[in-house]
């Protein structure tokens, strides 16, 4: 248990709830308990719904799974599609899949990462960064960005559109495609799609560079705020490329660094994840808390996602993104960067990297021809790990002799980040909450800290929900003291 997770004497404390949290996928709420001196004694991010996707998958034929798991999430279905496919490759004995299949999957994956990062930054995060946390709420959205900065909004939407086209071209459909199958792929890139994607790729790289430049300008405009906001030192876990430790989003080995940047674990086979990671259940939330077994639940929690990946790797193997990574790392003056807002900078570096990778892949003839599937001795148990846009994604299955899935365990990126998100909430609450009243600014600052992780609570807890924002102040007797509501049209109402 970490500081501010559970108050020593919660009986006499005042309870503040932020429910639900907007601009995250799914439904969560934040509660704060404050003492008689108006100091925050407890801060928790709760996940309030649960749906059992693992049970949903059990009993299905294994070949259906890469398609079925896409319905877990409307935001990163391709990551689930590919993680499931990678795992189930072992069931058909495809170790490895043929080069054409590997490259087509990579193209699909980097298209997914790019479009997801574009959605998050331009659609959800940039309004806060461009207009300020305290700006008029009705303006802090993509329409507000389009009004004030039409060029930025248009580039964001067109970048995302390009990523969606990559997914369509490789998966066969705009959503819930079937392109990746256990053992490889079932389609090559069609020449007309190759021409379409090749035509625009340089433009997209330039816009990706513009996106990095934008986030750097925003950082430079308020360095102190960007460096300190939601600052939570954390261990970092991600895949890296075997051998040289390069940034690797599709397939690699697990590396963990401590908060100071020292490597704690390296070259770990992702198939051994159960030896490395355990999940703790807490009674106040449906989302589990993964931690490193070797360090235990108190010290073993870690961060995944762009901020972890960009600092966990030794370098990025594409030149433009590597230049940007160096500048990002240098901004820490020798220290690891842990500020929540730095995640956006790291995310845009990854967006640029993804575009460079796609550009390189589009020069590879294996996308257009070659063997697509492989097979071999069958395995009953299989594990697939991928770096999804939000972080490390683990799919683990057992498949019976009758081809039906008998066990499914998913650890999604947002679950890995559960403790880190809670710590960021605590950091912001401890610094910003005056204990007297919930201001609109405080409410949004807590949300900004959570949103920096781009959490997908739908994936993490398998719930869906989207509602106006409501904050309740409740006394120790449970009586409602005051209520702050943000309506769907952006109006605030205090009762």
In the complex, the residues that contact other proteins under the rule CB under 8 A are: 22-25, 51-53, 56, 68, 71, 74-75, 77, 119, 123-124, 138, 140-143, 146-147, 150, 153-154, 157-158, 160-161, 164, 173-176, 456, 462, 466-469, 486-490
Least separation in angstroms between CB 51 and other proteins = 5
Least separation in angstroms between CB 210 and other proteins = 17
Nearer to other proteins (CB atom), residue 162 or residue 301: 162
Nearer to other proteins (CB atom), residue 67 or residue 308: 67
Residues contacting 108, CB < 8 A, separation 6+: 78, 81, 82, 166, 167, 170, 171, 179, 180
Nearer to other proteins (CB atom), residue 285 or residue 444: 444
Least separation in angstroms between CB 319 and other proteins = 28
Least separation in angstroms between CB 445 and other proteins = 15
Nearer to other proteins (CB atom), residue 58 or residue 295: 58
Least separation in angstroms between CB 453 and other proteins = 14
Nearer to other proteins (CB atom), residue 63 or residue 315: 63
Least separation in angstroms between CB 135 and other proteins = 13
Least separation in angstroms between CB 89 and other proteins = 23
Q: Are strands 235-240 and 302-303 parallel, antiparallel or unpaired?
A: parallel
Nearer to other proteins (CB atom), residue 51 or residue 293: 51
Nearer to other proteins (CB atom), residue 49 or residue 227: 49
């Amino acid at each position: 248990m970490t500081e501010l997770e559970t108050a020593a004497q919660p009986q006499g404390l005042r309870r503040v709830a932020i429910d639900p949290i907007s601009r995250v996928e799914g439904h969560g709420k934040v509660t704060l308990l404050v003492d008689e001196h108006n100091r925050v004694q407890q801060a928790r991010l709760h996940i309030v719904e649960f749906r059992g996707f693992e049970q949903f998958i059990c009993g299905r034929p294994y070949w259906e799974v890469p398609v079925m798991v896409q319905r877990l999430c409307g935001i990163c279905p391709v990551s689930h599609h590919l993680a499931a496919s990678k795992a189930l490759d072992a069931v058909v004995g495809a170790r490895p899949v043929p080069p054409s299949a590997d490259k087509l999957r990579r193209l699909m994956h980097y298209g997914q990462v790019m479009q997801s990062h574009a959605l998050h930054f331009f659609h959800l995060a940039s309004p806060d960064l461009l207009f300020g946390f305290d700006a008029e709420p009705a303006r802090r959205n993509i329409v507000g960005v389009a009004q004030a900065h039409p060029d930025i909004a248009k580039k964001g939407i067109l970048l995302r559109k390009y990523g969606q086209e990559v997914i369509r071209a490789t998966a066969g459909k705009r959503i819930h495609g079937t392109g990746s199958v256990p053992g490889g792929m079932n389609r090559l890139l069609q020449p007309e799609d190759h021409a379409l994607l090749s035509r625009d790729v340089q433009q997209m790289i330039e816009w990706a560079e513009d996106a990095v430049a934008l986030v750097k300008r925003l950082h430079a405009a308020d360095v102190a705020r960007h460096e300190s906001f939601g600052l939570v030192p954390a261990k970092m876990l991600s895949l890296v490329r075997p051998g040289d430790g390069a940034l690797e989003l599709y397939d690699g080995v697990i590396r963990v660094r401590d908060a100071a940047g020292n490597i704690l674990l390296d070259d770990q086979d992702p198939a051994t994840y159960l030896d490395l990671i355990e999940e703790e259940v807490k009674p106040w939330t449906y989302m589990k808390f993964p931690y490193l077994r070797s360090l235990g639940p108190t010290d073993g929690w870690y961060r995944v996602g762009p901020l972890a990946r960009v600092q966990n790797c030794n370098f990025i193997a594409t030149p433009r993104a590597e230049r940007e990574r160096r500048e990002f790392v240098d901004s820490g003056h020798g220290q690891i960067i842990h500020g929540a807002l730095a995640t956006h900078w790291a995310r845009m570096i990854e967006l640029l990297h993804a575009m460079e990778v796609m550009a390189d892949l589009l020069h590879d003839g294996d996308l257009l021809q070659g063997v697509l599937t492989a097979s071999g001795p069958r395995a009953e148990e299989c594990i697939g790990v991928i770096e999804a846009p939000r972080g490390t994604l683990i799919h683990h299955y057992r498949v019976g002799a009758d081809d039906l899935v008998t066990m499914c365990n998913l650890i999604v990126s947002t679950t890995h980040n559960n403790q880190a998100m809670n710590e960021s909430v605590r950091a912001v609450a401890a610094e910003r909450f005056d204990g007297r009243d919930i201001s609109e600014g405080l409410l949004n600052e807590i949300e900004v800290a959570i949103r920096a992780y781009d959490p997908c609570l739908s994936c993490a807890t398998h719930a869906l929900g989207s509602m106006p924002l409501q904050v309740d102040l409740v006394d120790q007797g449970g009586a409602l003291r005051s209520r702050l509501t943000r309506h769907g049209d952006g109006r605030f109402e205090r009762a």
